[in-house]
Chains A and B, each alone.
Chain A
Amino acid sequence: DQQVKQNSPSLSVQEGRISILNCDYTNSMFDYFLWYKKYPAEGPTFLISISSIKDKNEDGRFTVFLNKSAKHLSLHIVPSQPGDSAVYFCAASKISTDSWGKLQFGAGTQVVVTP
C-alpha cells in the first residue's frame, strides 16, 4: 500500500515559468514532509521540508504548501531554470518517533525545463 502518491510522472515547463508538483498522502500520522531532487546516477538530495504545524515554507525559489485536511502538499518552483530538470520525490515521515529518517517516498515526478 503506497502511502505517498505523486500522480504526475512527468511535467514539462518553460524556463522562467512556474513548476507545480503535487503529492498526496494517506497516513494522517505523518507530521513531517520533504521534497528531494534527484539527477541521473546520483542520490536524492534534500530540497525543502515542512512540519505539520505549518502550511507554508519558503526557501528561495522553492515553496512547499501543506493542506492537512486534504492530505495534500505541493512544491512550487518559481522561476523554473534548466538546472531544475530532475526527478522530484515527495516524502513523509513522523517526527514524533526516533525514526524521522524512515521516509515514505512517492514514485517521483520527472521535471523537464525547456528553453
Chain B
Amino acid sequence: EAGVTQFPSHSVIEKGQTVTLRCDPISGHDNLYWYRRVMGKEIKFLLHFVKESKQDESGMPNNRFLAERTGGTYSTLKVQPAELEDSGVYFCASSQHLGQGRTGELFFGEGSRLTVL
C-alpha cells in the first residue's frame, strides 16, 4: 500500500513567486493535515481537511496560503506570493476518520522542502 506522497520534494523559488505543493494521502483516508517545520523548530499545524471540507484552518499563517482538496482526494497548498519566512519543510499527513473520541494513526509524507530566496 502506498504511503502519503508529496511533490515536489524540494522547490527553490524567488521571493514574490508562486509555489504549489501537492499531497496524495493514503487511499481511503478522509483526514488530511498540513504541517510546517521552519528552521529546525517545532512542527506546526497548518490545517485539517475532512474529505473536501476544511475542518480547521487556524494554523494558516496568512492569506498568502491557500489549501484545497477538491473531490476529497489529493490536496494542494499554494503560496502566493512567497516570502523569505515561508522557507521550511511542509509535511502532509493523513489518517482514517474514526469519529469523535477515537484516535488512529497519523501517517506523514516525506515533506516538501521550500526555499525562498
Number of interface residues of B (CB under 8 A): 30
Cβ–Cβ contact A49 & B103, under 8 A: yes
Which of B11-19, B61-69, B79-87, B106-114 forms part of the interface with chain A?
B106-114
Cβ–Cβ contact A106 & B42, under 8 A: yes
Distance in Å: Cβ of B110 to nearest Cβ of chain A? 5
Given contacts A46-B105, A98-B99, 13 further A-B pairs with CB under 8 A are A32-B103, A43-B108, A43-B109, A44-B43, A46-B106, A51-B103, A96-B101, A99-B48, A100-B103, A100-B104, A102-B56, A105-B44, A108-B40
> Can you name 20 A-B residue pairings with CB atoms under 8 Å?
A32-B103, A42-B110, A42-B111, A43-B110, A46-B107, A96-B100, A98-B99, A98-B100, A99-B56, A100-B104, A101-B95, A101-B106, A102-B48, A102-B56, A103-B43, A104-B45, A105-B42, A105-B43, A107-B41, A107-B42
Q: Which residues of B contact A107 (CB under 8 A)?
A: 40-42
Q: Which residues of B contact A41 (CB under 8 A)?
A: 110
B4 at the A/B interface (Cβ < 8 Å)? yes
The 10 closest A-B pairs by CB, nearest first: A43-B108, A105-B43, A107-B42, A105-B42, A98-B100, A44-B108, A43-B110, A100-B103, A101-B106, A43-B109
Distance in Å: Cβ of A9 to nearest Cβ of chain B? 9
Instruction: Tell me, in angstroms, the Cα distance from A23 to B65 when the chains sit together.
Output: 31
